[in-house]
Structure 1
Amino acid sequence: MSDEDAYKKAKELFVSGHNGTTVGEVALVLSILSTSLWFYSELVFVIEKMGLLGKSKLQKTLTLLVIEFATLVLPILLSFTLTEFTLPMTRPWSLYHPTRCVSCFPLRVVVFAAGAVVLGSLSRRHSSDAEKKAALKDKLSLLMAREKPAVTCFRAQMMICTCVAILAVDFQIFPRRFAKTETFGVSLMDSGVGLFIMSSALTSAYARGSTGDKRASSTFSLRSIWNFFRPMIPVLVLGVIRYITVKKVNYQEHVTEYGVHWNFYFTLASLYFTFSVLALFGPYATSIPVALLILVGYQFGLTNYGIEDFIFHAPRVDLFSQNREGIFSLCGYLPLYLLSVAVGQVIFSSANTASRQQVRSDRYIVATLFMIGFTAWGLTHLTTKHVTQPSRRLINIPYVGWILWQGVLVLTTHSAYQHISLSPRVPIIFSGISRNQLFVFLIANLITGAVNLSMQTIYAPTHVGMAIMALYM
């Protein structure tokens, strides 16, 4: 075996066979998303009030970008890599000085939340009535826009998390419990693919309610056919390019993730196609009852008809069995997509609300999201206890419930912060990433591939890994 093949094998083992962590730890890690966003908004409002952003538009933009990186991007990077620190437990009467590892997550969350509360209190105390009215007017204008700030920030943060994880996992700085699980369990990276699907569904035309009568239209033309296939073509092309590139450069592969030939781009293309076909049959075909029916039927097949055993243990003898993980995962991703569209419809339901009703509407949205999250948590808890464990490879009922709960939890806290904050805002970085998700994901994959081909990442020391990740971001 050549050195190249030996390293490839070591790399595959490095990212395989993990058991994950707990649902609580994943939620705690991702709680930094809302607290850092709240802190950022309050900090920028105070800095702007003090006149420290700069005089020219360019100065303001550059200052905001620096603040955004320091308060929004860097905390995600640190939460994914520097997860704990060693605390000495010294005893003056003893020569033995034990140590204890302490998690950094609660400390980071508390610091950002406390900072946001302090800055928010200062800004309200030292703002005149005219300034408060102007801030409220800007806030209502932001909340009434078609681009819902909670969704925009959620989509951008999910993409940043994905970009951090896909490269960091190849270094030792990334805790192995955060890497993708092999069969059952939950981890930070397990949540990534599901939350990516959810973020895509939240801004679909069906979630926004902007499809008009297209679903009921039976007139076929070249234009309608093009509109049908247009969302699928870019991701399908990227999937083919990725497959050819991976095989060409002998890049390491985790076959049990999607299969021999399948990849995430093929999953997205297939998901868009399946959803579009269902949408042709009217709104009931993409409703919550249909999503639950598909999900329950799929879980019944996993448990009682040997599909689970086939996915985990069957030999790869033909094209179908070689790509069984990717193919069967669609039976779980489709219900997740349908349910996420329903969540998006709740959020965008206030798009045309009058300004005097906006505050009341936002309270309703927060309350509704809370109830959806509570229901999803209950589904996850009950099915995990009485049916099976969550599995990213299977995309089973507990996994779908967990992803829906985790995503709605972030959306709820985002919406709540925007309701109580005097001056919520959408960061420049988030706005750009949300509008160009596929392009950002492609660039992140290219850089990840280039880094892995240029160095042996799994043997890189901590300081090298952190330096590369900082430059990468």
Structure 2
Amino acid sequence: MEATPEQAAAAKIYQSLKSTKEAFYANHSGSSITEINIVTSVAPIAYLIYAVLQTRKGFFHADEYSLPLFLIDFGLNIAALLLSITLYSEYAIYFVLLLILNVLILSTAQAPTPQQRPRRPPPRENLDRVLSEKEKLEAYLPKKAFITAWRGCMMVVTCLAILAVDFPVFPRRFAKVETWGTSLMDLGVGSFVFANGVATARSILRDDHLGKTAPLFTRLQRSLRSSFALLTLGLVRLALTKTADYHEHITEYGLHWNFFMTLGFLPPFTALFQGVFTSMLFPELLAICIGALYQLGLKRLDLQNWVLLAERTDLITANKEGIASFAGYLAIFLAGQAMGMRILPAVQSKRKPQGQNTPTKRPLLKPMLIQAVLWTVLFQVTVNYKYGLNLQVSRRLANMPYVCWVAAYNCWQLLAFYLIEVVWWGDAESAGGRGAGAGASYEERSPRMLRAFNSNGLVIFLVANVVTGLVNMTMNTIVTPTGAAMGALFAYALLVSGIAVGMNLKNINVKL
């Protein structure tokens, strides 16, 4: 049936709008790493303010979470980050200084005198006799507040950015770059993969500690279940995008590939490398080798030119960015696992020399600092013009400079969160600890808002993607004035945060 003139005109307007939107996301060159570091420093500073509020004012309690506390939590851990990447992005350094000033003012308050100190754990010589196997495992792999806060903040920024990028109030330099350069959103996707690597190290450590590491074939079978769930989400997203004729940035991953598919192909490699990780003295070496071999292939095998210049003539070339960049994301994932192997355990593994049958506390500062410095040095080696390889960062390729940048950034962020926890609460594994909040529980050390985003990260990310799509289909975001844009973003942030906290309060944890 032939279209009427009115239908033809409407279709022409729609195609023009779609082309305008696609141009809105394309050909960006990014911003400096320094600016990205300043803008995202709001996350650890917000955690620092939370630590001061807890130790000086005793604001939040593990068994109490009212609407006013939700709003304070939201303002501190959500609104501050949203403002830093939108309205206050041009004045990020002043915003950061204002937050630090709040820290200094709050720090002058006298810490409340605790009425009762938590009971000390049993003496070490009786620990094996007193604790059950489950309790020993929890003592070996406890929940750590600084990891939860770091991962929660990363999830928050990611969820905020995927909608904020659709509005002019979000600076174009923070959007994903076309090919070469660094941006906030480029860092976000890599950090998401790095954080997943840290989280998956827990299962590796648990199996090794209990001596229950499954055979390779069994591990691969289990990993396929996780892969199937993520790949299904990727296919559903692809179907919805194509059906709705949603605007796309093709050079991001390709015509059909998306971020869920990249995540979906990672679990089998977790199973494949599990035995290697538990036997390697330096598990970071595996990530470095994969990243270096991939970079060698980009240069020597002309893979880089194929990704950037080849025409999209078949299914492979249509998705060349997603297929090629997977090697880089795998290296980032393994770098995250290596960090997790070092920071998740609270005590040394049970495999100790004969006669040493008591747990030994693991110091974290040294291994975290070493990894941060290692990845920073490697990044400088890859990008330095005079003394290095003179390469450019490319999220599109996920090349070696990108791998090193993402790993270095997240190692330094983790170190910042760790130091905040240690200074204000003392070591989590010690009974008395040092600092004004010594003896506080994990729930008191970690903001509920960040625990909520951390415990259901992929589900919340999926919800954020769905809501983002709905917003884009109901309003022309790219011409929305600043006031209306911020209103929509705050409403979106409240909705996603409410869902996350609601699931947390109901103890709903969905693992994909």
* TM-score (normalised: structure 1): 0.85
Distance (Å, rounded) in 1 between the aligned partners of 2:454 and 2:347? 18
- Helix, strand or coil for the counterpart of 1:104? helix
Shift of 1:45: 3.8
* CA shift digits 1:111-147 (9 cap, x unpaired): 22332243234234xx33x55956999xxxx998722
Distance in structure 2 (CA, Å) of the matches to 1:35 and 1:390 = 27
Given the superposition, is the C-alpha separation of residues 31 and 290 from structure 1 closer, same or farther in structure 2, using an over 3 Å criterion?
same
2:428 paired residue number = none
Q: Give per-residue Cα distances to partners, 1:174-193, cap 9 Å, x unaligned.
A: 00000000011000000010
Find the counterpart in structure 1 of residue 23 from structure 2. Answer: 13
Helix, strand or coil at the partner of 1:350: coil
Q: Tell me, which stretches of 5 or more residues in structure 2 are unaligned?
A: 1-10, 122-137, 350-359, 425-435, 438-443, 494-512
> 2:173 pairs with 155, 174, 177, which one?
177
Residues 1:384 and 2:383 aligned together: yes
Q: Deviations along 1:80-120, whole A, 9 cap, x unmatched?
A: 10135xxxxxxxxxxxxxxxxxx422222222233224323
Contact 2:220 2:268 in 1 (8 A): no
Question: CA–CA distance in 2 between the matches of 1:275 and 1:352?
Answer: 22
> What is the aligned partner in structure 1 of residue 419 from structure 2?
416
Residues 246/136 of structure 1: CA separation in 2 closer, same or farther (3 Å cut): farther
**Paired residues of 1:207 and 1:341 also in contact (CA < 8 A):** no
Shift of the 164–218 alpha-carbon distance from structure 1 to 2, 3 Å rule, reads closer
Is 1:303 the counterpart of 2:299? The answer is yes
2:339 maps to 343
Aligned residue number for residue 62 of structure 1: 67
Superposed CA offset, 1:246-297 (max 9, x none):
0000001111001111011110011222332333667458933332221111
C-alpha contact 2:31 2:181 (8 A) present in aligned 1: yes
C-alpha separation between the residues in 1 aligned to 2:94 and 2:347?
A: 37
* Correspondence 1:4-403 to 2 at 5 A: 4-48=14-58, 60-84=65-89, 103-124=90-111, 127-128=112-113, 130=114, 133=117, 146-206=142-202, 209-212=205-208, 213=211, 215=213, 217=215, 220=218, 226-279=221-274, 283=278, 287-350=283-346, 364-385=363-384, 386-387=388-389, 388-403=391-406
Range moving further from structure 2, 420-429 or 261-270 = 420-429
Q: Distance in 2 between matches of 1:340 and 1:57?
A: 32
Q: 1:281 to 1:46 in 2, by over 3 A?
A: closer
Letter of the 1:372 counterpart = Q
Q: For residues 399 and 80 of structure 2, what CA distance do their matches in structure 1 show?
A: 31
CA RMSD of superposed structures (Å): 2.8
Runs of at least 5 residues in structure 1 that lack an aligned partner in the other structure: 85-102, 354-359
Distance 1:185 1:42, change over 3 A: same
1:408 and 1:282, CA in 2 relative to 1: closer, same or farther beyond 3 A? closer
Give the drift of 1:310.
Answer: 0.6
Q: Percent identity?
A: 30
1:441 corresponds to 2:439: no
Structure 2 residue matching 1:368: 3-state secondary structure: helix
Q: Is the 8 A contact 1:150 1:414 kept in 2?
A: yes
Instruction: Give deviations 1:134-185, integer Å, cap 9, x for gaps.
Output: 6999xxxx99872211111112111110111110101000000000000110
Measure the CA separation in 1 of the matches of 2:472 and 2:217.
49
Q: Distance in 2 between matches of 1:143 and 1:456?
A: 52
Q: How many residues align?
A: 434
Q: Residue 471 of structure 2 aligns with which residue?
A: 451
SS at the partner of 1:349?
coil
Q: CA deviation at 1:48?
A: 3.0
d(CA) in 2 for partners of 1:193 and 1:303? Answer: 24
TM-score normalised by structure 2 residue count: 0.79
Distance 1:110 1:463 in 2: 25
> What corresponds to 1:94 in structure 2?
none
SS of residue paired to 1:147: coil
Aligned partner letter, 1:80: I
With over 3 angstroms needed to count, the CA separation of the structure-2 counterparts of 1:329 and 1:244, relative to structure 1, is same
Q: Which amino acid aligns with 1:195?
A: S
| 1:208-249 per-position Cα deviation (integer Å, ceiling 9, x unaligned) | 6112355562675xxx66523222122111011001100000
In the alignment, the residues of structure 2 paired with residue 326 and residue 297 of structure 1 have an alpha-carbon distance, to the nearest angstrom, of 18
- Equivalent AA in structure 2 for residue 166 of structure 1: I
Letter in 2 for 1:2: K
| Conserved 8 A contact 1:179-1:188 | yes
Aligned to 2:410: 407
Partner of 2:506: none
Distance 1:261 1:312 in 2: 17
Distance 1:339 1:281, change over 3 A: closer
